[in-house]
Structure 1
Amino acid sequence: MRVIFRIFIVTFLLFHSFVFAQNLETKIDHLITSKFKPETPGAVFLAVKKGKVVYRKVFGMANLEMNVQMKPESVFEIGSMTKQFTAVAVLMLAEQGKLKPDDEITKFIPDYPTNGNKITLHHLLTHTSGIKDFTGMKAIKDIARRDLSPKELVDFFKNEPVDFKPGEQYKYCNSGYALLGYIIEMVSGQTYEEFVTQHIFKKIGMNNTFYASHDMIIKNRASGYRDREGFVNANYISFSIPYASGSIMSNVDDLLKWQNAVSSNALLSPAFTVKAFTNYQLNNKTNIDYGYGWHLEKVKNKAVYEHGGSIFGFKSMGVYEPTEQIYVVGLSNCDCNSPTAITKEIASLLID
């Protein structure tokens, strides 16, 4: 009798688990298909819980002109999700004793005009430097297609008036991460591309992740689009412009490898990993809900680490909840269709 009862319980639990998985998949499908249509630019979504992939699906087209459907392996430009990699690269150099977050930027760029202010790497990492965001400058259109060196990019914005004194406000700033890329190059003796490729991508097996290039042949590259009363190709931009603030390409499988490497301390010791996820404060002790390269938010009252990205033709979003080891990432190839809300809703469905 006991054996029969145990068989019944196991069968019931397996059936319940199967029904839950089917219901979850149906709910996620509905979320995505309401926004991404088969004949339009598409997306790839991946969801993981406690090390198990619970959802991995594609929607729409990778290339409209060639009639190529999206694949799970499709490679996208991930825009500002690049900032995670830049922040970890800085922390890797800090752990090696080659720099400190509290170092002033004039230690590395002596002629940078700080107007008597103390601007540190910490300020750059947390968007609290007050430096003008170069992507909001009107003159950006004059350099968007030009291949600039990191120094030339920094020279483009360095003489702009600051928005506020360091540490007084939080204001999202791509200029800060461009400066960090330049400093990584000076400290490491490698280009930013060489550093992240050697010390991050190759180290953890991210074989489909690249510093973006218009020239390189990239297998499974998705084309980018925008909507101008009908889909058109995305504007061209030199990848030297987004640089260390937004020039990485990847796919959902590689981004899972990245998240696993970060959360398992494969790239940094626990003492340095925690620096990326500390909720830093302004001078007045107000929390900014940002660490180093990650926003610190909440989903279903659970703390999550997240960051999105937007670049011509592409949108991205990744959310990680540490207690249940939930990771959800969505990548899309039209800057008209963001995966951000859907990614958060999927994470919400997965949180117990």
Structure 2
Amino acid sequence: MLSTLKKITIGYTVAALVAVGCNQHHNNADSKTASTTTPHYTLQAPLPISTAEKQALQYKCNLFYDSMLNKSGFNGGMIVAKDGNIIFEKYKGSINLDDKVPITDSTPLHIASVSKTFTAMAVLKLQQQQQLNINDLFSKYFPAFNYEGVTIKSLLNHRSGLPNYLYFMEDLGWPKDSLIHNNDVLNWLIQKKDSIKNIAPANKHFTYCNTNYALLALLIEKVSGQTYPQFIQQQIFDAIGMQHSFVHFTNDGKIRSKTFDWKGREIPDNNLDEVYGDKNIYSTPKDLLMWDKVLRDTQFLPATYIQMAYEPYSNEKAGIKNYGLGWRMNNYDDGKKIIFHNGWWHGNNASFIRLIKENATIIVISNRFTRNVYKAKLLANIFNHFFDTDVEENESAATTNMVDTVASKSSKKVYPKKK
């Protein structure tokens, strides 16, 4: 596939236990609650783009799509935008691979760890509303939490040193036939601390860990007085107009698309599927583009908070790769920066790439796994931006989302599909 792109002359080189009962959908109201009023954000109109530039970019996007996605079993949607203008948009396949219900621009698909971008920015929104401070210890809000030095910030930038619930819950005997919810993760961290392995000192080094964001979802619930799904729906989706996005939670009544491996075999649910904050947001390329747009101005958050989110916090190793507050990034010597996040859960995978200076966005979502979704990074180069594809692709397979390894352990369905 890559050799095909290299031949394309398009000008570039071709990622007591005080756990809130979040999943019983109630909250402790003993803290100051955030505003429950739905804000409203007006998306800025696209900037002018010449017909010649738009056509040139469309041509390059088509070449990428045909060589990388169309031939790889891709089943989902893709959008590329420049200065707010959609220059390429395409949808392929059907929700259940049976051709009965085609995937369209209004079909929500699981965006996996791209969900972390919403969780992180929701926490910063609560800081802006003076409901919390990211330098606070997590134990300030959950006094029974018995891990020293873990701050909200260290959860956001994956420097908490906590173990991954994808592993320790099972290792310590959580029943495979019992669903795990966010409060279960917190309770077991507290109860089983002496038995948990691989606990590192807080803020010593970066370790990508889904536990961090499961706990941040609990924090949002504790501080806001709303469930995480309610808060994200009201304060982000409804406020922006993301009509085809939602947070999945137990018995939410939503019809969820199935998920498939690269051979087209359905991947069953397992007992990890109800934890949210680290995953479980369903969205569309168009809705994610709206999310991208509202983050580019100062309506949702002031510039100082956006800059805080995009700051690199793990500098113990040299290199361009780093992690901010809910965002992966590449920082280049010339001042250019790529802000992105990949996602991978069961057969769902997603890539959400944002070129800040170039005001360009690349979004790909699929519910049939293909690693070529992550090669969307190649398209950064059509905006005169070099993305080290081989390194980043290896990173996404190894660390961006470890969840697929665990999720695929279950070869038979543990739970019936929610209807």
- If the length of structure 2 is used for normalisation, what is the TM-score? 0.71
2:163 equivalent in structure 1: 132
d(CA) in 1 for partners of 2:98 and 2:290?
A: 31
Partner SS, residue 318 of structure 1:
strand
Return the index of the structure with the highest Cα Rg: 1
CA contact (8 A) 2:242 2:290 kept: yes
1:339 equivalent in structure 2: 373
CA contact (8 A) 1:305 1:320 kept: yes
How many residue pairs align between the two structures?
330
Partner SS, residue 199 of structure 2:
coil
* 2:359 aligned with 1:325: yes
CA contact (8 A) 1:316 1:338 kept: no
Please point out which of 187, 210, 217 is paired with 1:181. Answer: 217
What amino acid is the match of 2:326?
A: G
* 2:346 aligned with 1:315: no
d(CA) in 1 for partners of 2:187 and 2:128?
A: 29
1:3 equivalent in structure 2: none
Please point out which of 49, 72, 80 is paired with 2:113. Answer: 80
1:193 equivalent in structure 2: 229
Q: CA separation of 1:280/1:19 partners in 2, compared to 1, >3 Å: closer, same or farther?
A: closer
2:246 equivalent in structure 1: 210
What amino acid is the match of 2:143?
A: P
CA contact (8 A) 2:237 2:245 kept: yes
1:4 equivalent in structure 2: none
CA contact (8 A) 2:72 2:370 kept: no
1:223 equivalent in structure 2: 258
What amino acid is the match of 2:206?
A: Y
1:306 equivalent in structure 2: 340
2:203 equivalent in structure 1: 167
* 2:79 aligned with 1:43: no
Q: CA separation of 1:126/1:14 partners in 2, compared to 1, >3 Å: closer, same or farther?
A: closer
What amino acid is the match of 1:151?
A: N
Instruction: State the Cα deviation string for residues 256-304 of structure 1 (Å, max 9, x = none).
Output: 011111111221111112111111145x697871111100115897310
Equivalent pairs: percent with the same residue?
Answer: 24
Please point out which of 85, 97, 106 is paired with 2:130. Answer: 97
CA contact (8 A) 1:77 1:212 kept: no
CA contact (8 A) 2:69 2:372 kept: no
CA contact (8 A) 1:36 1:60 kept: no
Instruction: State the Cα deviation string for residues 74-105 of structure 1 (Å, max 9, x = none).
Output: 21001111111110111011111111111001
Q: CA separation of 1:98/1:118 partners in 2, compared to 1, >3 Å: closer, same or farther?
A: same
Please point out which of 135, 144, 156 is paired with 2:188. Answer: 156
Partner SS, residue 363 of structure 2:
strand
What amino acid is the match of 1:126?
A: N
What amino acid is the match of 2:149?
A: K
Deviation at 1:239, TM superposition (A): 6.9
Instruction: State the Cα deviation string for residues 299-347 of structure 1 (Å, max 9, x = none).
Output: 8973100001111220011000011100000001123545111x21122
* 2:96 aligned with 1:63: yes
2:21 equivalent in structure 1: none
What amino acid is the match of 1:314?
A: N
d(CA) in 2 for partners of 1:121 and 1:262?
A: 21
CA contact (8 A) 1:62 1:71 kept: no
Q: CA separation of 1:142/1:35 partners in 2, compared to 1, >3 Å: closer, same or farther?
A: farther
Q: What RMSD over aligned residues (CA atoms) do the two structures have, in Å?
A: 2.8
d(CA) in 1 for partners of 2:241 and 2:203?
A: 37
Please point out which of 107, 125, 142 is paired with 2:140. Answer: 107
Instruction: State the Cα deviation string for residues 151-208 of structure 1 (Å, max 9, x = none).
Output: 2221234422443211111110111111111111111111111111111111111111
2:5 equivalent in structure 1: none
1:10 equivalent in structure 2: none
Deviation at 1:218, TM superposition (A): 4.8
- If the length of structure 1 is used for normalisation, what is the TM-score? 0.84
1:5 equivalent in structure 2: none
Please point out which of 293, 299, 303 is paired with 1:270. Answer: 303
